[in-house]
Amino acid sequence: MGFVTTQDGVDIFYKDWGPRDAPVIHFHHGWPLSSDDWDAQMLFFLAQGFRVVAHDRRGHGRSSQVWDGHDMDHYADDVLAVVNHLGTSNVVHVGHSTGGGEVIHYIARHGQDKVSKAVLISAVPPLMVQTESNPGGLPKSVFDGFQAQLAANRAQFYRDVPSGPFYGYNRPGAEPSEGIIANWWRQGMIGGAKAHYDGIVAFSQTDFTEDLKKVSVPVLVMHGEDDQIVPYANSAPLSAKLLPNGTLKSYPGFPHGMPTTQAETINADLLAFIRE
C-alpha cells in the first residue's frame, strides 16, 4: 500500500498485493466507494497467483479530498499515474460502475500498449443520462435528485442506497446484510462530499461512445439484468456492440452490486475470461 502524487498534486492511495512477476489485475471502484469494495475479488485473485492492484479515486477513500478535478479526464490521468508509478504492463483492468467508465476512458485516452484485457461490471457506459440521441437514458432530474439528497443529508443517503436498490435489498424475498450495508456507508463517508457531488455529473453525463470504439483489446461486459442503478438495457448491450472486441455476459436477477453479493459467480467468470 502507498500513495502516488499526480502532476496536479493529488495523493492517490493504492493497494498493490502479490508477487512482482505475477500477472496483474487492476481494479477500479464505483461511486462513492473505495478500493475496499474489491475485497472479495482481491483476496480471491491473490490466492489464484495474481498480483492485484486497486486505487482510491481522487476525493474518495484515502486519496486527497481535493475540491476539483472530479471528471473522467482527471480520473484517467490518475490511473496513468498509478500505472507508471508501479511500472505495470500487460494489465487486465476491471471496473465496476463508474470504474467501468474510468477503465474505458483511461484506455482510450492513454493507449492500450500496457493493457491486455478489460472488464466492465455493471458499468455506466455508453451514457447514462437521457438525451435526444440517447432516449433510453435516465432523465437528468434523477441525477439532480442524487445531488440534492447528498447535499441535504449525505449520511442518510448513503444508508438508503445500499439498503435498497444497490444490492437489490428492496426486492421481495431479499435478505439484507447489515454488514454489507454498513461497509458501503463506511466507504462512502470516508470520501469527500465535493468529490462525490461532482462525481454524479462525471458518471452520468460523460458520453463514452467514441471511447468504446477505440478499445480493441478483448473486453468482457458483465451486467445484472435487475440492475436498478445502471439499467441493463441502455448500458451493457450497447457497450458490447460498440466495442470492436466486446463480449456480453448478462445475469438474470443480479443487482448492481453483484461483485459483492454474487462474488462466487462473478469471480469464477472473471477468472475464466482472464485465463482464456
Q: Is residue 256 annotated as part of the catalytic site, yes or no?
A: yes
- Cβ atoms within 10 A of the Cβ of 275, count? 8
Q: Is residue 227 annotated as part of the catalytic site, yes or no?
A: yes
Q: Which residue has 507508471 as its cell numbers?
A: 84
Sheet architecture: strand order including 91-96:
2-5, 11-17, 51-55, 24-28, 91-96, 115-121, 219-224, 246-251
End-to-end CA gap in the chain: 29
What DSSP assignment string belongs to 162-204?
HHTTTTTTTSTT----HHHHHHHHHHHHHS-HHHHHHHHHHHH
Virtual torsion, Cα 38, 62, 120, 48, nearest 10 deg: -30
The 3-state DSSP composition of the chain as helix, strand, coil percent (nearest 5) reads 45, 20, 35
Q: Is residue 163 annotated as part of the catalytic site, yes or no?
A: no
Q: Which of 34, 35, 97, 204 is catalytic?
A: 97
Q: Which of 28, 60, 227, 235 is catalytic?
A: 227
Residue 251 is inside which H or E element, if any?
Answer: strand 246-251
Q: Decide if 239 contacts 212 (C-beta within 8 A).
A: yes
Active centre residues (catalytic):
97, 227, 256
